[in-house]
């Protein structure tokens, strides 16, 4: 759904693969509720295509792509499929209810992949690519074809496969640098070559998909855009296999800040970038490095006196883009307990949350309680409240009360009362090496499971001693990982909330598995 372009401005499509290639990365898995939340946010961000998953990879992935396809209206929703009929069947089962479905079919074309992975000849690969596109076309008009490891493939062979895929009906052909091997200049030249030598390419979109093994994924994507690529495939925070994929926020801001040179436009609403990055970081438990461009904590912080002085005198001395342009608002809403509901609702909307009346009421009550504890409630606080209230994972266990006793000489004691989904409460007291250990042990005894705590991180949402504490945890149970996130003015409470949200994600999945087995 490309928007309007001016006479000299070219429109580039953004395919976001955070939920597919991003989610494939070690420890980046998300539960179906989290994926849905991320998909909604990507729609608000304005990506053109959401690659929602790899439906044939597991029944869970198929279901979660189906769930996303059912609710996303403003973007195309794509599912990845190997060039196999059974994958394409699963892809279509997941996508058939989508408003704008796309089947994304791929097969490798490089000598090393064909020989060692596929054990196929060139002719066999060509034949399978064509029959997969033809098969996908029976279901869906919008078919993308990717030549996996295209950069390490014979360029003329890629042109031939692309040409045949186009004849078979592919509307987009994608040229991935699967192992992140290319250098920007040669990648751009290769894209020009493909453009010039692929029969029928003028009728379809040419996409690129770059990995970051040499830290060049963004540079290669930009080079490809300059050489005529129509679509780039990328992920939020650059998450993805190994060193990750090209980072969406870096590509987008390069396009925006250097419009004078690139003359490119996208549909992205850049003010949604920061909150999208935080959401992905929270649901995956993968923190963004502080010096990461655009979304790192330090990306807009000026430490050196000489820089501070310059920025105060004239912002552009050391800033090439404004924090506001990526959604960091200087104009934090200074709200307190006397602030009105209307102003609060407006702020929520500005932050990208369009909630129904019941949810608004719930968040507003919590906001008033928070405003009683804190002098200033800022955007990060409001965002945390809104996320908590619109959580998509059902609460098997709900926090009722807690207390801890701790000191320097003795161990700690944790007391907790949890409410089960049937409304019944359970209370337990446990000893531990510290308050968190004690309270987590008490929770484990109540739920009757002892998941491994793989990650526990605590920080402050904003600066200052009145900031809310934010905790991220990752637990492991039967070789599956579950992330949890909790926020509170009390760090122990935020730790309990985070642990319980991971436990609830685990209980939800275990219950879903039980249903599938029956």
Among the listed residues 196, 230, 195, the one whose alpha carbon sits nearest the alpha carbon of residue 49: 230
How many whole angstroms from its chain centre is CA 262? Answer: 26
d(CA 518, CA 513): 9
> Which range touches ligand KIV (CB under 6 A), out of 171-179, 214-222, 437-445, 486-494?
171-179
Among 113, 137, 209, 278, the residue binding ligand KIV under the rule CB under 6 A is 209
d(CA 455, CA 477): 13
Q: Which of residues 148 and 507 has its CB atom nearest to ligand KIV in the complex?
A: 148
Among the listed residues 109, 121, 181, the one whose alpha carbon sits nearest the alpha carbon of residue 146: 109
Q: Which of residues 82 and 195 has its CB atom nearest to ligand KIV in the complex?
A: 82
Note whether 21 binds Zn ion by CB under 5 A.
yes
**Residue 221's binding partner, choosing from ligand KIV, Zn ion, none, with beta-carbon cut-off 5 to 8 A by kind?**
none
Give how many residues touch ligand KIV by CB under 6 A. Answer: 9
Among 178, 221, 276, 378, the residue binding ligand KIV under the rule CB under 6 A is 178
Pattern 77-116, ligand KIV, x by CB under 6 A: -----------------------------x----------
β partners of residue 472: 457, 485
**Residue 146's binding partner, choosing from ligand KIV, Zn ion, none, with beta-carbon cut-off 5 to 8 A by kind?**
ligand KIV
Helices (H) and strands (E) in the chain, counts: 17, 16
Among 16, 21, 383, 507, the residue binding ligand KIV under the rule CB under 6 A is 21
Nearest approach in angstroms of CB 373 to ligand KIV is 46
Among the listed residues 53, 135, 65, 128, the one whose alpha carbon sits nearest the alpha carbon of residue 96: 65
Among the listed residues 448, 445, 449, the one whose alpha carbon sits nearest the alpha carbon of residue 432: 445
Nearest approach in angstroms of CB 150 to Zn ion is 11
Nearest approach in angstroms of CB 241 to ligand KIV is 7
How many whole angstroms from its chain centre is CA 369? Answer: 31
Nearest approach in angstroms of CB 17 to ligand KIV is 7
Q: Which of residues 25 and 140 has its CB atom nearest to Zn ion in the complex?
A: 25
Q: Which of residues 21 and 37 has its CB atom nearest to ligand KIV in the complex?
A: 21
Count, residues in the chain:
518
Nearest approach in angstroms of CB 50 to ligand KIV is 15
Rounded to 5°, angle at Cα 155 from 154 and 160: 100
- Give backbone dihedrals phi and psi of 452, rounded to 5 degrees, phi first: -75, 130
Q: Is the distance from CB of 107 to CB of 125 less than 8 angstroms?
A: yes
**Residue 87's binding partner, choosing from Zn ion, ligand KIV, none, with beta-carbon cut-off 5 to 8 A by kind?**
none
Q: Which of residues 56 and 389 has its CB atom nearest to ligand KIV in the complex?
A: 56
Q: Which of residues 17 and 396 has its CB atom nearest to ligand KIV in the complex?
A: 17
- Determine which helix (DSSP H) or strand (DSSP E) holds 82, and give its type and residue range: strand 76-82
Nearest approach in angstroms of CB 117 to ligand KIV is 12
Nearest approach in angstroms of CB 104 to Zn ion is 11
**Residue 106's binding partner, choosing from ligand KIV, Zn ion, none, with beta-carbon cut-off 5 to 8 A by kind?**
ligand KIV
Among 31, 64, 146, 247, the residue binding ligand KIV under the rule CB under 6 A is 146
- Determine which helix (DSSP H) or strand (DSSP E) holds 400, and give its type and residue range: strand 397-405
Nearest approach in angstroms of CB 66 to ligand KIV is 20
Residue pointed to by tokens 């060049």 = 216
d(CA 140, CA 497): 43
Among the listed residues 444, 397, 438, 392, the one whose alpha carbon sits nearest the alpha carbon of residue 419: 397
Q: Token pair for residue 478?
A: 């039967």
Q: Is the distance from CB of 15 to CB of 230 less than 8 angstroms?
A: no
Residues that bind ligand KIV (CB under 6 A): 21, 106, 146, 148, 174, 176, 178, 209, 211
Residues that bind Zn ion (CB under 5 A): 21
């Amino acid at each position: 759904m490309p928007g309007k372009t001016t006479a000299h401005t070219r429109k580039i499509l953004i395919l976001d693969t955070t939920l597919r290639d991003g989610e494939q990365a070690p420890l980046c898995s998300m539960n179906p509720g989290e994926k849905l939340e991320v998909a909604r946010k990507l729609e608000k961000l304005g990506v053109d295509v959401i690659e929602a998953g790899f439906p044939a990879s597991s029944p869970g992935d198929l279901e979660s792509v189906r769930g996303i396809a059912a609710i996303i209206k403003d973007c195309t929703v794509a599912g990845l499929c190997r060039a196999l009929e059974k994958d394409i069947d699963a892809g279509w089962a997941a996508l058939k209810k989508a408003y704008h479905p796309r089947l994304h079919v791929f097969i490798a074309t490089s000598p090393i992949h064909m020989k060692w992975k596929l054990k196929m000849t060139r002719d066999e690969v060509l034949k399978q690519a064509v029959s997969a596109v033809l098969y996908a076309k029976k279901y869906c008009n919008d078919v993308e074809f990717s030549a996996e490891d295209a950069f390490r493939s014979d360029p003329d062979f890629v042109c031939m496969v692309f040409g045949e895929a186009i004849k078979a009906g592919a509307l987009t052909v994608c040229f991935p640098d699967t192992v992140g091997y290319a250098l920007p200049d040669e990648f751009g030249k290769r894209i020009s070559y493909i453009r010039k030598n692929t029969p029928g390419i003028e009728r379809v979109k040419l996409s690129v998909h770059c990995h970051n093994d040499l830290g060049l994924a963004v540079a290669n994507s930009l080079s490809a855009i300059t050489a005529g690529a129509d679509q780039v495939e990328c992920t939020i925070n650059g998450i993805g296999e190994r060193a990750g994929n090209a980072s969406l926020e870096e590509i987008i801001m390069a396009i925006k800040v250097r419009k004078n040179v690139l003359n490119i436009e996208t549909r992205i609403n850049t003010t949604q970038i920061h909150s999208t990055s935080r959401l992905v970081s929270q649901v995956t438990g993968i923190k963004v490095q502080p010096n990461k461009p655009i979304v790192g904590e330090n990306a807009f912080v000026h430490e050196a006196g000489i820089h501070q002085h310059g920025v105060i005198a004239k912002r552009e001395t050391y800033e090439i883009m404004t924090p506001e342009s990526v959604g960091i608002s200087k104009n934090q809403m200074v709200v307190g307990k006397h602030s009105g509901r209307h102003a609060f609702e407006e702020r929520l909307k500005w932050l990208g949350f369009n909630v129904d009346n019941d949810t608004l009421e719930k968040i507003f009550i919590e906001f008033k309680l928070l405003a009683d504890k804190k002098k200033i409630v800022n955007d990060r606080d409001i965002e945390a409240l809104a996320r908590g209230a619109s959580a998509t994972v059902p609460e098997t266990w709900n926090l009722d009360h807690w207390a801890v006793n701790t000191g320097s000489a003795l161990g700690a004691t944790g007391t907790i009362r949890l409410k089960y989904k049937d409304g019944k409460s359970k209370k337990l007291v446990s000893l531990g090496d510290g308050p968190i250990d004690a309270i987590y042990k008490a929770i484990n005894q109540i739920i009757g499971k002892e998941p491994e705590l793989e990650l526990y991180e605590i920080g402050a949402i904003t600066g200052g001693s009145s900031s809310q504490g934010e905790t991220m945890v990752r637990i492991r149970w039967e070789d599956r990982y579950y992330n949890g996130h909790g926020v509170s003015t009390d760090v122990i409470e935020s730790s309990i909330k985070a642990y319980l949200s991971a436990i609830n994600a685990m209980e939800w999945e275990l219950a879903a598995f039980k249903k599938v087995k029956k």
